[in-house]
Amino acid sequence: MRTKPDHGLFPFSAFCDMKILTIVGPTAVGKTDIAVAIGARVSGEIISADSRQIYRHLTIGTAKPTLKQQRKVRFHLIDFVEPGEDYSCGQFARDAEQRIENIQDRNRTPIVCGGTGLYIKALFHPLDELPKSNRKTKEHLQAMIDKHGLGYLYDKLQRVDPTWAKRITPQDKQRIMRGLEVYKITGKPLSRLIGKKEKVARFLPYYIGLNLPRKMLYDKINRRFDNMIEQGLVGEVDSLLAHGFDPRSNALRTIGYKEIVEHLQGALTLDKAIDKAKRRTRNFAKRQITWFNNIPGLTWHNPDDPVLVDSIIRRSGI
């Protein structure tokens, strides 16, 4: 009898044998460049696993694929959610599964690429059924944020579900609210409900991790944010606010946008906003590396390796 291996944080079913090339790693490391190079060689289409690139109107600060890259390879799950809308890991998993099937039906190769660990986990290790969102509960939690600030809710989450609180950031409004909402509805921590019983994943990931020596990665992060400023990030954020998008929304509280909002509201000078955004991005990259290090069998590769693309195509069998 075939048994299911224990894959820790990222388990998947041994009965699932449909391999999907999945490129992961910290922000700014160069995942999209490698995915595009591979996709162009194997008639591939890329499914973005990035929780910020889903938003319309947020372009410069999310480092979305350029028009040139999108002409080379088709991208899925970018630019389809309004900044004020909620979008869950479970929704991502369902949407990604549909895209994968559609791509395969057209005899093309799906490639998952991104750095949002919760999205990757939801796709390849399906989440348990959780209670549906409750409007009154969400309104109550939002009222608490309006009165006390998001940090107040994060402190409450740390008390009732410290495991879930450690997995997310104190700025992740959507997941903080969801953790408290589930606890209020069920009386149980969200972290205990997720993964309580393993479900069968529909696809098997073939993981490729991309990383660089820390100094090189941090230099790349800093340079990329400088480029975002030069490309007009401040103007992009100013336009979003002028069009009425809520600066407290989950989209505008993400790294880069939050700091520029604070600058435009007079709380930070531009230089201090830039320094703060770079520091938060570097810390985020560290958390991403820690998360993906929990994937058994994942090996890290240098994206600057000139033979990497050939090696991935050969080894993955795509």
Q: If you ran DSSP here, which 8-state letter would residue 22 be given?
A: E
Q: Cα separation of 62 and 254, whole Å?
A: 9
- Tell me the backbone φ, ψ of residue 148, rounded to 5 degrees: -115, -15
| Residue at which a domain ends, from 193, 210, 234 | 193
CATH number, domain with residue 120: 3.40.50.300
Say yes or no: 281 and 210 in one domain.
yes
Rounded to an integer, the average pLDDT of 29-56 is 98
pTM assigned to the model? 0.79
Sheet hosting strand 74-76, strand order edge to edge: 74-76, 44-48, 109-113, 19-24, 204-210, 300-301
Q: If you ran DSSP here, which 8-state letter would residue 251 be given?
A: G
- Tell me the backbone φ, ψ of residue 302, rounded to 5 degrees: -85, 120
Confidence of residue 9 (pLDDT cuts 50, 70, 90): very low
Domain that holds residue 156: 135-193
Overall number of domains in the chain: 2
Say yes or no: 41 and 180 in one domain.
no
5 in a domain, yes or no?
A: no
256 in a domain, yes or no?
A: yes
Say yes or no: 106 and 177 in one domain.
no
| Range list of H helices, 114-266 | 117-124, 135-148, 150-160, 162-167, 173-186, 190-193, 214-231, 233-242, 257-264
CATH number, domain with residue 168: 1.10.20.140
Question: What is the per-residue pLDDT across 185-223, written as a single tens digit (0 to 9) for each?
Answer: 888 888 887 755 556 678 999 999 999 999 999 999 999
Contact 207, 201 (CB under 8 A): no
Say yes or no: 164 and 112 in one domain.
no
